Amino acid sequence: MGFKIGKLISGGAKLLSGDLSGIGDVAGAFGGGGGGGGGNNAGTSAGFTPYSITSGIATSKVDPTAKTATYTLTPQMQAFRDQYYAGATAALPSSVSNAYGQQVSDYGRGLFSQAANMDTGAMTSDYFNKNLRLLEPARKQESSRLNDLMFSRGTIGQGVGMGGGYVNPQQFALQQAREQQNAALALSAEDRARAIQGEQFQRAGALYGLGQSYLTDPYNTANQIMNYGIGIENLGSNTMAQGLNTGINVGQISNQAAQVNSAVNQQNYLRNLANENANNAAWTSAGNAIGNVDWGGLFSRNSMPASQGDFNSYYNMNA
C-alpha cells in the first residue's frame, strides 16, 4: 500500500482550517478505498429434465407436470408384436386336442394298472412250461440216441449203486444235465416275467406322459410366443428409460458445473473479504497516524514558505 505524505499534510491543513474535504486527501494518502465486495453467489443447478427419445423401435414422451411417461412403438414393431400375440392365441389347445391328450393319458393309466396286477409267478411257470415243450422233441431224440449207444455197447442193464439204489451211469449223467438246464430255464423264466412287467410299466408311463404333454405343451408354446411380443414391448420401454437416463445424466453434469461455479464464487468472496479486512486495518492505521502528527509545529509561521507558489511546490508531493 502506497503512502503519500503530500496528501496527508494538505489534508491535515484543510481539516485544521475547518475544510472537511481534507478527509479525502487524508484517505488518498493511504492508497485509496477498500477492496471490492464480492458475493457468495452459488451456481444454480439445472435439476432433472427428462428427454423424449425417438428410435427405430419407439418414441417416448415424459411429462413431469402431469407425472406421466409413455412410449409408442413404430408401426413395424407394432405389427411384429401383434403377430406374436396372435400366434400365442392360436397355439392354445382346442377341445379336440385336449380330448386326445386325455385319451392317451387314460390309456397309459390303464396299462399301468395292468402291469401292477400282473401275476409274475404264473407268468414264470407259463414261460418255463412253454420252453420245456419246445425242448421236448430234442430231448426225446437225445434219449433215443443214448439208448442206441448203450445197446450197441451192451451197457443198458448195467448199473452202479448210488443213493441206496442202482442207476445207469450214462442215463444218470443225462438226467443230471437236464435238471441243471431246467434250473437255469426256471431262473430265466422268472427274470423274463419281471422284465415283461417292467416294460409294461415303462410303456404305461411313457403313454401317460405323452398324453399330459398334449395337454400342457400348447400352453408352454403359447407362453413362449407371447414372450416374444412382450420382448418387443420391453424394447419400447427401454426407449423411455433412455430418455429418463439422459435427463439424469445431463442433470448430474449441470449440478457438477454448478458446484464448481459455487466453489469459484466462494473463493472470490473470501479473497474480497480479506481485501476489505486489510483496507479496514489501513484506515485504522491512518487514523492513528493522524492523531500522532504535531499539527501545530507542522504549520507554524516560521516553517511556512514565503509565497503561495513555494507553498504549492512544497506540499504538492503526490505528483
- How do residues 274-295 score in pLDDT, each as one tens digit? 666 666 666 566 556 555 555 4
Which residue in 211, 242, 252 sits closest to 93, CA to CA? 211
Highest-scoring range by mean pLDDT, 55-59, 101-105, 161-165: 101-105
> Does the pLDDT value for residue 82 go beyond 90?
yes
- How far apart CA 39 and CA 259 sit, in angstroms, is 16
> Does the pLDDT value for residue 272 go beyond 60?
yes
**pTM to 2 decimal places:** 0.45
More confident position, 151 or 307: 151
DSSP annotation string for 65-115: TTTEEEEEE-HHHHHHHHHHHHHHHHHSPPHHHHHHHHHHHHHHHHHHHHH
Contact 60, 240 (CB under 8 A): yes
